[in-house]
């Protein structure tokens, strides 16, 4: 019953968004049933639709969890975007340097980028660790600034986004790009750093789908975040800080430490996006690879009510919308993929304006005010 | 009462969703027609330059009309056209695959950044024809549509040097890459051929994708070149080039009503963007190339490999129209025309900066 109540508003918000979106489609001049058929049909077919939906959902699970953890501590982490860029580059850097990348130069002679060529058992964990540590550090800095100087995390995280993107672009452009490559991307990572695509061991799933082991890591991250927040002392202290910092401090909790810890965990989670993109999909750092995952993660956390289960479901929904949006753009008569953005916006609007529904529902005793 | 309304609404929505999800391919793709899918670059189809030209080409093939409704000089090919504007690099591959999954006859990618992606997709679908604009691929089912930008740039370089009063001319490139070096090198050679003492200033907006979309920086560079004495500036910088248009307009006109500084447009015909200030445009007929490849597929003559468009078939050209015919002297035009014939005949070789 409690779960049902938690799910009620997000589900209503999504349904209302679809109805409003349908009206918009109708006004534009397409048949809403056809457009939704296209949207959901393309997102839910096996194997391509589902494979891509889950692939798109993977980074959103990570960033959704990242925002949720910070939010449980009363912090709004707008910096997941920067954290994941810094982390993705770090991940690629380790996989290039220790993966023994060698490319062919203009004259055919090999150019070595790597220092060493480690086997997969060592390299993959190191690359994972690099992504999480750098992402975590990038998140911890605004945490420390908040704890030490009271600098507002919204300002500092958003500033850190710009720094991260510019910094990794600089390194990519001047040190890690193949000579003459017109595309802003690093040289490929060492082959031993590639992580398996799910298609290589799931029957019926073709290996060309980019869905990879990072999706399983994302599920694992959901479980671990749940355990961390609700079953450990640290998680309890983070939640207590988020609920009421003064009371938490009075209760003997070091609030400053909790802020830094929450931001570091948040950054590490956001950084794991790099694993999906670099180790599992492109096998290199690619400029602007993130389709605003860090910012969409805020919406995912909001819709998922800052709970790992909710984040997982919301990320799947957004993954469906991204996948379906491409098909709507391609195969509908008038509607473009902007419809997807309209749908997302309406969902967020309705989730945010929850109080609008709360009145009528609570009158019938269907709902009580939710507790932290 | 309100509750009931909400529940009713929710029920309707649920039905709506359930009702649609099982009707997957409601849009019957019109039978018998050749189906063409085009995937644009991040700039989108309304960039007034490169993507817009590609869109124009496929639109002419579909309807016989330009996107603005005016008739094309070429007939409609009766194809069915679908397009995607990916918006971010992550959506390019699934967009191509979306067309491939549905067995489209031709899939066109716009821009060099799509070349590696098209390689991986085209390998999975050897029976589908692909075409990449500005990119290169070795696969037999991929047509690489490339242009001899250096030759067109050579001609506008000649015109620039001839029309310059100071003997100093400028070049503003977008991203500092081989493709744009090709423009710069040809331009410089053309200028030197027309006027051996010509001085060419070369600047680039930047090194990232953002360099195509930074008119502010484009204007700054143009003003700096004007400050150093340049009076004709050739831009090959996408949207950033429009900043140079502002800069020459700001420099104004002399007492006779002729502009003191000129700009040369690129890719699409930009002569009328700021009439009187645009000397000419180095047009790259992406529209013709795209139309041609569609017509090849329709006539079942599709061939993979390189399709090179040079001066001979107006694949690249300098554009003349009502907005600039007063600006260029007949003797200059005659000289440019002669140079064009010599290049086509192979008597003059223009250096291709990408093949050095």
Nearest CB to B20; choose among A40, A330, A333: A40
d(CA A46, CA A202): 12
B316 located within any domain: no
């143009």: which residue's tokens?
Answer: B222
Contact (CB, 8 A) for B271 and B209: no
Q: What confidence tier does A259 reach under pLDDT thresholds 50, 70, 90?
A: very high
Instruction: Please say if the pLDDT value at position A13 is more than 60.
Output: yes
Q: What confidence tier does A10 reach under pLDDT thresholds 50, 70, 90?
A: confident
Mutual angle of helices A308-331 and A32-44, in 10-degree steps: 120
- Chain A hits for B27, Cβ within 8 Å: 34, 38, 331-333
Contact (CB, 8 A) for A47 and A340: no
Share of chain A above pLDDT 90, in %: 62
Q: Which of A8, A11, A52, A182 has the highest number of chain B CBs within 10 A, making it the mutation to test binding with B?
A: A182
DSSP designation for B72: P
Burial bucket for residue A250 (CB in 10 Å: 0-12, 13-18, 19+): exposed
Residue A236 CB coordination number (10 Å): 15
Q: What is the pLDDT of residue A228?
A: 96
A47 preceded by a cis bond (ω within 30 of 0): yes
Q: What is the largest CA-CA distance in chain B?
A: 87
Q: What confidence tier does A242 reach under pLDDT thresholds 50, 70, 90?
A: very high
Q: In sequence order, which residues have a C-beta less than 8 Å from that of residue B267 and are 6 or more positions away?
A: B49, B50, B53, B238, B281, B282, B283, B284, B286
DSSP designation for B30: P
Q: What is the pLDDT of residue B2?
A: 52
User: Do B142 and B159 fall into the same domain?
Assistant: no
Domains of chain B: total: 2
Mutual angle of helices A120-149 and A80-97, in 10-degree steps: 150
Two structure tokens written together for A21? 């979106």
Q: Is A288 on the interface with B (CB under 8 A)?
A: yes
Two structure tokens written together for A124? 């993959």
Alpha helices in chain A (DSSP H): 2-28, 32-44, 48-72, 80-97, 120-149, 153-175, 213-231, 233-243, 245-250, 255-271, 273-274, 293-303, 308-331, 338-352, 355-363
Residue of A360 and A44 predicted with greater confidence: A44
Span A96-107, pLDDT tens digits: 999 988 888 777
B305 located within any domain: yes
B1 located within any domain: no
Q: Is A303 on the interface with B (CB under 8 A)?
A: no
User: Do B117 and B217 fall into the same domain?
Assistant: no
Distances (CA, A) of A372 to A186, A257, A369, B215: 44, 21, 10, 50
Alpha helices in A98-152 (DSSP H): 120-149
d(CA B228, CA B220): 13
Beta strands B278-284; B262-267: pairing state = parallel
d(CA B79, CA B58): 9
Q: Is A183 on the interface with B (CB under 8 A)?
A: yes
Q: What is the pLDDT of residue B22?
A: 39
Two structure tokens written together for A4? 């049902």
B317 located within any domain: no
- Chain A hits for B24, Cβ within 8 Å: 37-38, 41-42, 45
Give percent helix, percent strand, percent coil of chain B, each to the nearest 5.
45, 20, 35
B113 with A12: Cβ contact below 8 A = no
Closest CA to A235 of A370, A83, A78, A70: A70
Q: What is the pLDDT of residue A108?
A: 76
- Chain A hits for B91, Cβ within 8 Å: 291, 322, 326
User: Do B187 and B233 fall into the same domain?
Assistant: yes
Residue of A108 and A329 predicted with greater confidence: A329
Burial bucket for residue B158 (CB in 10 Å: 0-12, 13-18, 19+): buried
First and final CA of chain B: distance in angstroms? 78
Residue A1 CB coordination number (10 Å): 5
User: Do B349 and B228 fall into the same domain?
Assistant: yes
Residue A23 distance to chain B (closest CA, Å): 12
**SS3 category, B142:** strand
Among chain B residues, the shortest Cα distance to A172 is held by: B208
Among chain B residues, the shortest Cα distance to A207 is held by: B124
Question: Taking a contact as any Cβ pair under 8 Å apart, which residues of chain A between 153 and 182 contact chain B?
Answer: 169, 173, 180, 182
Share of chain A above pLDDT 70, in %: 95
Two structure tokens written together for B269? 């015909």
User: Do B115 and B236 fall into the same domain?
Assistant: no
Contact (CB, 8 A) for A321 and A60: no
B21 with A36: Cβ contact below 8 A = yes
d(CA B307, CA B14): 52
B11 located within any domain: no
Q: Is A6 on the interface with B (CB under 8 A)?
A: no
B14 located within any domain: no
A34 with B85: Cβ contact below 8 A = no
When computed from its CA atoms, the radius of gyration of chain A, rounded to whole angstroms, is 22
**For residue B196, what is the domain's CATH number?**
3.40.50.2300
Alpha helices in chain B (DSSP H): 2-21, 50-63, 92-101, 115-124, 149-163, 178-194, 215-227, 241-251, 286-298, 330-345
User: Do B259 and B276 fall into the same domain?
Assistant: yes
Q: Which pTM does this prediction carry?
A: 0.83
B16 with A33: Cβ contact below 8 A = yes
Contact (CB, 8 A) for B338 and B347: no
Instruction: Please say if the pLDDT value at position A363 is more than 80.
Output: no
Which residues pair with residue B129 across a beta bridge?
B106
The sign of the torsion formed by the CA atoms of B311, B315, B319, B320 equals positive
**SS3 category, A278:** helix
Q: Is A282 on the interface with B (CB under 8 A)?
A: no
User: Do B181 and B240 fall into the same domain?
Assistant: yes
Q: What is the CATH number of domain A63-318?
A: 1.10.3470
A329 with B179: Cβ contact below 8 A = no
d(CA B229, CA B166): 7
Distances (CA, A) of B89 to A366, B94, B114, B348: 45, 10, 9, 40
- Chain B hits for A33, Cβ within 8 Å: 16, 19-20, 23, 26
């130069």: which residue's tokens?
Answer: A105
A357 with B6: Cβ contact below 8 A = yes
DSSP designation for B174: E
- B84: domain range? 35-147+287-309
Q: What are A219-226's contacts with CB under 8 Å, separation 24+?
A: A219/A61, A219/A312, A221/A61, A221/A62, A221/A65, A221/A269, A221/A272, A222/A61, A222/A65, A222/A308, A222/A309, A222/A311, A222/A312, A223/A308, A225/A65, A225/A68, A225/A69, A225/A269, A225/A308, A226/A307, A226/A308, A226/A309
Among chain B residues, the shortest Cα distance to A181 is held by: B177
Domain boundaries, chain A: 63-318
A289 with B89: Cβ contact below 8 A = yes
d(CA A116, CA A102): 11
User: Do B69 and B100 fall into the same domain?
Assistant: yes
Q: In sequence order, which residues have a C-beta less than 8 Å from that of residue A2 and are 6 or more positions away?
A: none
Q: What is the pLDDT of residue A5?
A: 75
Per-residue pLDDT 10s for chain B (356 aa) are 455 555 555 555 555 554 444 343 434 455 678 999 999 987 778 777 778 889 999 999 999 888 888 888 888 998 999 999 887 777 888 899 999 989 999 999 998 889 989 999 999 999 999 999 998 888 999 999 999 999 999 999 999 999 999 999 999 999 888 889 999 999 999 999 999 999 999 999 987 777 888 899 999 999 999 999 999 999 999 888 999 999 999 988 888 888 999 999 998 888 988 999 999 999 999 999 999 999 999 999 999 999 999 998 888 999 998 889 889 989 999 999 999 999 999 998 998 887 75
CB pairs < 8 Å spanning A and B:
130
Q: Which helix (H) or strand (E) holds B279?
A: strand B278-284
Q: What is the pLDDT of residue B28?
A: 47
Residue B119 distance to chain A (closest CA, Å): 13
Q: Which of B3, B13, B146 has the highest number of chain A CBs within 10 A, making it the mutation to test binding with A?
A: B13
Contact (CB, 8 A) for A116 and A98: yes
Distances (CA, A) of A113 to A179, A274, B177, B196: 12, 20, 21, 43
User: Do B56 and B94 fall into the same domain?
Assistant: yes
B87 located within any domain: yes
Residue A269 distance to chain B (closest CA, Å): 20
Closest CA to A131 of A264, A271, A269, A284: A271
**SS3 category, A110:** strand
User: Do B227 and B337 fall into the same domain?
Assistant: yes
Two structure tokens written together for A141? 């800095």
User: Do B254 and B131 fall into the same domain?
Assistant: no
User: Do B260 and B299 fall into the same domain?
Assistant: no
Strands across the sheet containing B316-318: B199-206, B168-175, B232-236, B262-267, B278-284, B316-318
- Chain A hits for B98, Cβ within 8 Å: 42, 326-327, 330-331
A16 with B17: Cβ contact below 8 A = no
B16 with A180: Cβ contact below 8 A = no
B165 located within any domain: yes
Among chain A residues, the shortest Cα distance to B180 is held by: A182
Q: What is the pLDDT of residue B33?
A: 87
Q: Which of A2-16, A148-162, A303-317 has the lowest mean pLDDT?
A: A2-16
Two structure tokens written together for A144? 């420390």
Q: What confidence tier does A1 reach under pLDDT thresholds 50, 70, 90?
A: low
């Amino acid at each position: 019953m409690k779960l049902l109540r938690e799910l009620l508003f997000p589900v209503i918000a999504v349904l209302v968004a679809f109805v409003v979106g349908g009206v918009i489609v109708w006004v534009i001049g397409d048949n809403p049933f056809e457009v939704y058929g296209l949207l959901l049909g393309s997102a839910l077919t096996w194997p391509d639709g589902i494979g891509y939906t889950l692939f798109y959902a993977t980074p959103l699970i990570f960033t959704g969890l990242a925002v949720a953890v910070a939010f449980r501590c009363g912090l709004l982490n707008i910096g997941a975007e920067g954290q994941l860029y810094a982390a993705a580059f770090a991940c690629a850097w380790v996989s290039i340097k220790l993966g023994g990348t060698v490319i062919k130069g203009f004259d055919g002679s090999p150019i070595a980028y790597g220092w060493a060529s480690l086997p997969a058992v060592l390299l993959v964990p190191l690359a994972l660790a690099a992504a999480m540590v750098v992402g975590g550090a990038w998140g911890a800095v605004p945490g420390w600034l908040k704890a030490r100087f009271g600098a507002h995390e919204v300002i500092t995280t958003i500033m850190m986004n710009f720094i991260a993107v510019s910094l990794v672009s600089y390194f990519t452009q001047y040190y890690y790009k193949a000579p003459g490559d017109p595309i802003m991307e690093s040289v490929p990572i060492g082959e031993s750093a590639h992580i398996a695509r799910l298609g290589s061991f799931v029957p019926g799933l073709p290996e060309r789908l980019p869905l990879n082991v990072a999706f399983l890591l994302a599920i694992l991250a959901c479980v671990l975040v749940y355990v961390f927040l609700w079953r450990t002392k640290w998680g309890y202290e983070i939640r207590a800080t988020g609920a009421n910092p003064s009371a938490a401090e009075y209760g003997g909790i070091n609030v400053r430490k909790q802020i830094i810890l929450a931001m570091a965990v948040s950054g590490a989670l956001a950084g794991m996006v790099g694993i999906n993109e670099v180790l599992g999909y492109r096998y290199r750092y690619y400029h602007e690879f993130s389709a605003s995952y860090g910012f969409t993660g805020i919406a995912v956390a909001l819709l998922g009510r800052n709970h790992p289960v909710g984040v997982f479901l919301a990320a799947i929904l957004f993954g469906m919308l991204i996948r379906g949006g491409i098909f709507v753009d391609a195969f509908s008569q008038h509607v473009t993929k902007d419809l997807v953005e309209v749908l997302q916006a309406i969902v967020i609007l309705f989730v945010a304006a929850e109080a609008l529904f709360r009145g009528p529902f609570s009158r019938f005793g269907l709902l009580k005010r939710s507790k932290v | 009462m309100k509750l009931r309304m909400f529940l009713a609404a929710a029920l309707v929505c649920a039905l709506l969703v359930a009702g649609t999800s099982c009707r997957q391919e409601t849009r019957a793709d019109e039978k018998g027609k050749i189906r063409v899918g085009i995937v644009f670059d991040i700039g989108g189809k309304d960039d007034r330059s490169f993507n817009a030209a590609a869109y124009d080409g496929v639109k002419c093939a579909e309807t016989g009309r330009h996107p603005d409704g005016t008739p094309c000089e070429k007939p409609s090919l009766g194809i069915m056209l679908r397009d995607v504007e990916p918006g971010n690099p992550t959506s390019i591959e699934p967009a191509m695959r979306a067309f491939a999954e549905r067995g489209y006859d031709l899939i066109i990618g716009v821009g060099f950044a799509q070349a590696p992606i098209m390689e991986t997709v085209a390998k999975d679908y050897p029976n589908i024809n692909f075409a990449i604009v500005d990119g290169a691929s070795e696969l037999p089912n991929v047509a690489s549509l490339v242009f001899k930008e250096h030759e067109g740039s050579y001609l506008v370089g000649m015109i620039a040097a001839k029309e310059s009063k100071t003997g100093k001319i400028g070049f503003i490139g977008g991203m500092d890459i081989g493709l744009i070096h090709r423009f710069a090198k040809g331009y410089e050679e053309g200028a030197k051929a027309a006027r051996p003492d010509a001085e060419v200033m070369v600047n680039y907006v930047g090194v990232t994708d953002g360099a195509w979309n930074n008119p502010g920086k484009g204007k700054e560079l143009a003003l700096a070149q004007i400050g150093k004495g340049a009076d004709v500036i050739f831009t090959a910088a996408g949207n950033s080039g429009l900043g140079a248009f502002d800069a020459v307009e700001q420099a104004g006109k002399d007492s006779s009503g002729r502009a003191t500084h000129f700009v040369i447009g690129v890719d699409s015909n930009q002569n009328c963007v700021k009439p009187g200030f645009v000397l000419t445009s180095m047009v790259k007929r992406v529209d013709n190339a795209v139309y041609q490849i569609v017509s090849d597929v329709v006539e079942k003559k599709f061939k993979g490999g390189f399709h090179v468009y040079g001066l001979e078939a107006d694949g690249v050209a300098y554009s003349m129209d009502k907005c600039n015919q007063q600006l260029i002297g007949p003797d200059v035009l005659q000289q440019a025309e002669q140079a064009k014939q010599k290049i086509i005949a192979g008597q003059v070789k223009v250096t291709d900066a990408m093949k050095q």
